[in-house]
């Protein structure tokens, strides 16, 4: 197992553990928001798996589209279902011992996201960096749950605070719905295409790649826009006289500089 695979495996196992802890603790402690937070962690894992599978299949692969649409639909359905459950369940006061568990999940997830970011920068891997950014959203949802649990402890003094768990459940469910939407929209974007507004911005990246003396040309360059982020997939033609090791170093250098220069770009370069 190489270092990159080990990092991905560590992230997957850490998120699996965290998701299970949240869901079980939520059931035992009667907190719907903590259960939904566990589902949100599961949704983030699904996004990671979809991202990794997308890097292995070409854009016309039918299995890839099926995985994306199926996973996205499941995640989207879970988010909508939990909104309905949170509203129909009514007011249930969670057990206060959940505060400690909720705080633990925040610290655990923050450490994991920091670990992913550091490894992503160390290995010049845009997928790990993007996963770290996604993990930060999971930290935010856990903070929302923690605040809701604190407010619930004060519900005997302020009546409206008894709805805090319900409100947090709905908010975190919206996070889950957003993740499902991202998974589906990425696939639909690849199938139908999307308009990239900042052509000058993308052309500057293309020019930078072409100006490298080892690059003989660009075979293809596909750009998709997801909210404020651009995902650029580029197949380049290198000098045939280069060794495989040096060719890989050229790719790593190009990806590293582009990521450092353009903070909102996820760049994936392959050798044609």
> Following DSSP, what letter does each residue of 173-242 receive, concatenated?
HHHHHHHHHHHHHHHHHHHH----S-HHHHHHHHHHHHTSTTEEEEEEEEEEEETTEEEEEEEEEE-TTS
Task: Give the CA angle between residues 22, 64, 113 to the nearest 5°.
Answer: 35
Angle between helices 164-192 and 126-153 (to 10 degrees): 160
For the beta carbon of residue 104, count every other beta carbon within 10 angstroms.
15
Which backbone phi and psi does 227 adopt, to 5 degrees? 60, -125
Element (H, E) at 16: helix 3-29
pLDDT value of position 132? 79
Report in angstroms the alpha-carbon separations of 114 from 110, 185, 191, 255: 6, 27, 33, 21
- Inter-residue long-range contacts of 261-264, CB under 8 Å, 24+ positions, other chains counted: 261/208, 262/201, 262/205, 262/230, 264/228, 264/229, 264/230
Give 267's contacts (C-beta < 8 A, 6+ positions apart): 126, 205, 232, 234, 254, 255, 258, 259
In whole angstroms, what is the distance from residue 115 CA to residue 118 CA?
Answer: 5
pLDDT value of position 10? 84
Q: Are strands 265-271 and 229-238 parallel, antiparallel or unpaired?
A: parallel
Beta carbons of 98 and 29 less than 8 angstroms apart: yes
* Nearest CA among 68, 61, 77, 64 for reference residue 47: 68
In whole angstroms, what is the distance from residue 86 CA to residue 259 CA?
Answer: 41
Domains observed in the chain: 3-192 (no CATH), 199-271 (3.30.70.1350)
Beta carbons of 259 and 229 less than 8 angstroms apart: no
E strands, the chain, in order? 215-226, 229-238, 265-271
For the chain, 272 residues long, give each residue's pLDDT as a single digit of tens: 667 678 878 888 888 899 999 999 999 998 999 999 999 998 888 877 776 666 555 555 667 778 788 888 999 999 999 999 999 988 888 888 889 999 999 999 889 888 888 887 777 666 677 777 777 778 899 999 999 999 998 988 898 999 999 999 999 999 999 988 888 876 666 555 555 655 677 788 888 898 988 899 898 888 877 655 677 888 999 988 888 888 888 998 898 888 888 777 878 888 87
């Amino acid at each position: 197992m190489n270092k990159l695979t080990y990092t991905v495996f560590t992230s997957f196992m850490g998120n699996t553990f965290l998701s299970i802890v949240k869901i079980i603790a939520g059931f035992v402690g009667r907190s719907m928001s903590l259960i939904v937070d566990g589902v949100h962690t599961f949704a983030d894992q699904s996004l990671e798996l979809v991202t990794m599978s997308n890097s292995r299949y070409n854009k016309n692969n039918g299995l890839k589209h099926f995985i994306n649409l199926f996973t996205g639909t499941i995640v989207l359905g879970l988010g909508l279902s939990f909104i309905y459950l949170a509203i129909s369940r009514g007011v249930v006061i969670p057990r206060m011992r959940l505060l400690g568990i909720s705080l633990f999940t925040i610290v655990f997830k923050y450490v994991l996201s920091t670990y992913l970011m550091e490894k992503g920068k160390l290995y010049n891997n845009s997928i790990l960096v993007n996963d770290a950014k996604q993990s930060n959203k999971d930290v935010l949802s856990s903070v929302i749950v923690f605040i809701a649990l604190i407010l619930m402890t004060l519900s005997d003094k302020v009546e409206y605070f008894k709805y805090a768990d319900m409100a947090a459940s709905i908010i975190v469910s919206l996070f889950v719905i957003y993740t499902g939407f991202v998974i589906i929209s990425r696939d639909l974007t690849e199938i139908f295409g999307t308009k990239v507004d900042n052509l000058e911005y993308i052309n500057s990246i293309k020019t930078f790649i072409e100006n490298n003396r080892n690059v003989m040309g660009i075979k293809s360059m596909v750009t998709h826009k997801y909210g404020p982020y651009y995902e650029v997939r580029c197949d380049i033609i290198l000098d045939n006289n280069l060794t495989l090791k040096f060719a890989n170093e050229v790719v790593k250098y190009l990806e590293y500089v582009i990521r450092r220069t353009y903070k909102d770009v996820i760049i994936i370069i392959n050798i044609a």
